[in-house]
Amino acid sequence: MMTLRTFVFLDSLQPQLAAFIGKTSRGFLPLPEQASLFVEVSPAMAINRITDVALKATNVTPAIQVVERAYGLLEIHAFDKGDVQRAGAAILKAMELNEDKRMKPTIFSNQIIRSIEPYQAQIINRNSQGMMILPGQSLFILETEPAGYVAFAANEAEKAADISLVQIQPYGAFGRLWLSGTESEIDSAAEAALDALNSLSGV
């Protein structure tokens, strides 16, 4: 029996998130302004069936398919928002679930580190795959459960503020996000990310 952990629609992929997905994923690269859907299920292997359903039903393209130890994650995208929404509907039908049966995101932790020290900036940059954080900038760190929702938070934060996407991990036990920027921009990004997650319904 499958559990719908993450099910969230992104109406317009922002440039940095699209670029990060393209850099780090093994699928077909998304472009800015495409619509996107993140689906996370358990057991993990069930994501293969979910991918099959979405691709046969519509003209969406997958960028991410992760089969983790416990959870599976799929990202699909297209310029036609209707196609992405229809793919989501096909997935829900195959799972015999409604969207309201998805898990509601939990903000497991969030923090802002202001005026980051040079040595900490170096450590973060060595372990990131996105933009660099510079000494003196502020850093917003977010953890969500389920993991997939952190992509929605990142996208909404990028819409709201002039920030840099340092790192995002939308799979595993927890989703993790690192954003950098000036103090005021990070405050705006954090507010947008948290408001976005709190707006989502679920069980």
Determine the pLDDT at residue 1.
81
Average pLDDT over residues 86-111: 97
The per-residue pLDDT for range 21-70, each reduced to its tens digit, is 999 999 999 999 999 999 999 999 999 999 999 999 999 999 999 999 89
Whole-angstrom distance, CA of residue 162 vs CA of residue 168: 17
The per-residue pLDDT for range 146-163, each reduced to its tens digit, is 999 999 999 999 999 999
CATH topology of domain 106-198: Alpha-Beta Plaits (3.30.70)
Fold match flag (3-101 vs 106-198): yes
Burial class (CB in 10 A: 0-12, 13-18, 19+), 109: exposed
pTM: 0.96
Domain residue extents for the chain: 3-101, 106-198
CATH topology of domain 3-101: Alpha-Beta Plaits (3.30.70)
Whole-angstrom distance, CA of residue 188 vs CA of residue 78: 28
The per-residue pLDDT for range 173-195, each reduced to its tens digit, is 999 999 999 999 999 999 999 99
Joined together, the tokens standing for residue 100 give 């309201």
**Cα 193 to Cα 46, 85, 115, distances in angstroms:** 29, 22, 20
Alpha helices in 70-182 (DSSP H): 81-95, 118-126, 149-160
Contact 104, 202 (CB under 8 A): yes
- What b/e string do you get for 28-50 counting C-beta neighbours within 10 Å, with b at 16 or more? eebeeebbbbbbbbbebebbeeb
**For all residues of the chain together, what is the average pLDDT?**
97
